[in-house]
Amino acid sequence: MDYDTVMLDASAGPRVTIRDLTSSNVNFVLNNVALSFANSIRRTVLAEVPTMAIDLVEIEQNTSVLADEFLAHRLGLIPLSARNVDDVLYTRDCDCEQYCGNCSVILSLNAKCTGDEIMKVYARDLVVSSDRPNQYVGNPVITDPENQGALICKLRRGQELRMKCVAKKGIAKEHAKWAPTAAVGFEYDPHNKLRHLDYWYEEDPKQEWPLSTNAEWEEPEAENATFDFNAEPGAFYFDVETVGGLEPDALMQSGIKVLQLKLAAIMEELRNTGEEGRADGGAGANAAHQDGGYGGASTRYGDGSGTQYDTAYQRDGGSIWGGATAQPGNGTAYGATSYAQSATPGYGQNGTNGYR
């Protein structure tokens, strides 16, 4: 298939209806897509959208009651802005030895309690102290009315924190601290007309399993209606809550972009595989596959017949495990064992009382 010439009908394409939108939450309905596509978006948004999080902590002074590892863990869970995070390189793709201004953002934390009252250290006390790709990425996310951010620790008189925090780009598949979402609600077929759910109940499932608000967007199943085995879900209800590093629209757009890149990589591999197969003509002529490819007489998988799997498993009319038809006792490593003899109890072939 030539993927570049595929024509899509815009009127029959995906349709999104936004029901509610805030700075950290979006509630929408996705229509005209398959269940697999909708679930792919959900999984991508959950685990594969890149964000920023503190990954390294260099502690110079810590006289608080919290251990160094405990503080480092808390710092890693503080949400940081991932706006324009594409400007930041992954550390694995950068030429530096450990971190630099192209692949990281350095934040400093210096706090010391000099009074008698307990001093609270918040995310607002993290200060960006290095060059960075843009002015947004790496800033602590502060959304509370007091403009303080997440609580890091508490200090008594004389206690001090002095440390350098290195924030890096990553995805939630690597560690949960890079998760861009707090939760992703996902539902389809709220009336369970497709019977994908099997409710456990004691007396009345309608009373014990109340319908969600999404049920108002669909018509209930008519009584005594004939079940359609070919029916498929057509509306998917999303409720996406971010941690604050990305706005909801930027989060969904980033998720779609990641999914597009993954699909493009698959199509490119399929295209390359098809071109190589046509060039080989099934005869193993491609030099790139002559010593380890998938065709003809000169490959490790061919015996001259041009088939893909005529190999060690069926070479010269027989296999390494036996004759051409794997008859029992044909000189194989297992030919004389109970697994191939005709009258073996439990494992025979002809009239035995075991597995055929």
**Domains annotated on the chain, with CATH:** 3-48+182-261 (3.30.1360.10), 52-179 (2.170.120.12), 318-356 (no CATH)
In tens, the pLDDT along 33-75 reads: 999 999 999 999 999 999 999 999 999 999 999 999 999 999 9
Nearest residue to 192 (alpha-carbon basis) of 182, 206, 179, 181: 206
The Cα 268–Cα 277 span in angstroms is 14
Contact 120, 138 (CB under 8 A): no
**Which residue in this structure is represented by tokens 């996902």?**
186
Q: CA dist 347 to 23, 341, 344, Å?
A: 66, 8, 6
Average pLDDT over residues 189-193: 92
- pLDDT, one tens digit per residue, over 146-187 is 999 999 999 999 999 999 999 999 999 999 999 999 999 999
In three-state secondary structure terms, 122 is strand
Binning the chain into helix, strand and coil, the percentages to the nearest 5 are: 25, 20, 55
Per-residue DSSP letter, 134? S
What rounded mean pLDDT belongs to the chain? 81
pLDDT of residue 278: 65
Q: How far is CA 32 from CA 3, 12, 196, 212, 234, in A?
A: 21, 7, 19, 21, 6
Contact present, 303 and 310 (Cβ < 8 Å): yes
Instruction: Give yes or no for residue 290 having a pLDDT over 80.
Output: no
- For 296, list phi and psi in degrees, rounded to 5: 45, -165
Residues 268-283 as b or e (16 or more Cβ within 10 Å = b) = eeeeeeeeeeeebeee
Task: Give the mean model confidence (pLDDT) for residues 276-291.
Answer: 51
